[in-house]
Each structure stands twice: as C-alpha cells, then as structure tokens.
Amino acid sequence: MSKQEDRCRLVLITPQMSDGHALATLVGDALRGGDVASVIIPQYDLDDGAFQVLTEAVVPVVQEAGAAALVVDNSRVAGRVKADGLHVIGNRELVAEMVEKFSPKLIVGAGGASERHTALEVGEATPDYMFFGKLDGDIKPEAHSKNLALGEWWASMVSIPCIVMGGADPASALAVAETGVEFVALSKAVFADPAEAATIVARINAELDEKAPRFAD
C-alpha cells in the first residue's frame, strides 16, 4: 500500500449491527478496497457484553488490514479486546481524564464539540484528534456545512489532527478533503451497499489521490 499521509485519509464508522461476524465480514470487505486510517466502532444500543462480543470479532480484522480500531466511549471493552484507541464523546474534563488514563498506550480522540469555543476547550486536553460531526450524522448526501467550516477553521489554526464527518454520498469525501483536514469519516457512503464497499473505498482513495490537496511538510 502506498503512503497516503500527505493528503486527507479515510476513516470508517461501523454501521449498527448486532452480529459481530457479519460486521467483521462487512468491514473486512471494505478494507480490501484500499487505504483506511482507522475504523471507529460505536456501541449503539448494545449492552456491554454484546458489545464486547461484537468488537472481539471486528477489531482483529481492522488491525490485520493495517488500520487502527477505535472503540467509542467504553474503555473497559477497548482494553479487553485490545483495541488501538478510544473515541471519547464528552467535555474537556472527560477527555482530559481519558487522556491521562490511557495515552499514549491508546489513541484517545475527542468528539462532540459543535462550536469553536467548546472545541478549543476540549483541545486543551490534548486528544490525539478532534472529530467534528455526529457519528450517525450522515443523513444527507453531502457533509454538513457547519462541520466543514469547523474542520477548515481547526485545520488552519490547531496542530491536533481532525476528522470531519462526511455525508451519505461517497463524493462528499473530496469536499471534506478540500477543507484541508487530515481525515474524512464515512459510514453510509461505504456500507449502505455491502457488495460495493471495497469498490467504493477504492474509488474514494483514487479520487483523493488525484484531487485532494497535499499537506505541506
């Protein structure tokens, strides 16, 4: 796999499924399409036991493909399944607590900031990345304009990398990349048609290779 670090990279958010093996197959298929930096795994409405079973199936598949497996808001499960990191949705105090407890052993990313002041406060806790948008926020084809604006502002001002949630259309990935952010997150755009997941990941990577702006050294 060629190195993609000089342009915006893809992050996947797993869809809501209760069957860990089926989800692992779906994610594995998508990852065969090419470069993916990380896969964020939300708990949705699963209890802790069911979530652990699900992540036990998914995390190894993600890691074997060379991506980082990030568990949302459940440090116990993240530890038990040997995930690479935690995606924390919360205020500065919660993010700071998780960073203090788990960094640098685990990646600790922060989500939930919906405006500049909150984002800067959370950023003071020095998470490994900031996430703008909701994990299930891909309800329209395009990325939300507010998230694009936040990502563009953050990327121009702050050295902590950021991820911006894209839309339900794979084409939204390029619009996110054009803001200058380091990562674009997609879910429905990749997973809505399981048979096409790998093809879509490959197509997105090809478009980012061709058209996404490059980062200065």
| Tokens coding 200 | 């879509």
Q: Are 161 and 182 in contact (CB under 8 A)?
A: yes
The pTM of the full predicted model, rounded to 2 decimals, is 0.96
Residue 4 banded pLDDT, cuts 50, 70, 90: low
% the chain with pLDDT above 70: 98
Q: 137-166, pLDDT tens digit by residue?
A: 999 999 999 999 999 999 999 999 999 999
Q: What are phi and psi of 192, to 5 degrees?
A: -60, -35
pLDDT at 3 over 90: no
CATH code of domain 9-211: 3.20.20.70
- The span from the CA of 201 to the CA of 193, in Å, is 12
Domain ranges of the chain: 9-211
pLDDT at 63 over 90: yes
- The span from the CA of 90 to the CA of 96, in Å, is 10
The residues facing 41 across adjacent strands are: 71
Q: Are 157 and 179 in contact (CB under 8 A)?
A: no
Sorted by sequence, the CB contacts under 8 Å of residue 215 that are 6+ apart come out as: 5, 6, 7, 182
Residue 217 banded pLDDT, cuts 50, 70, 90: low
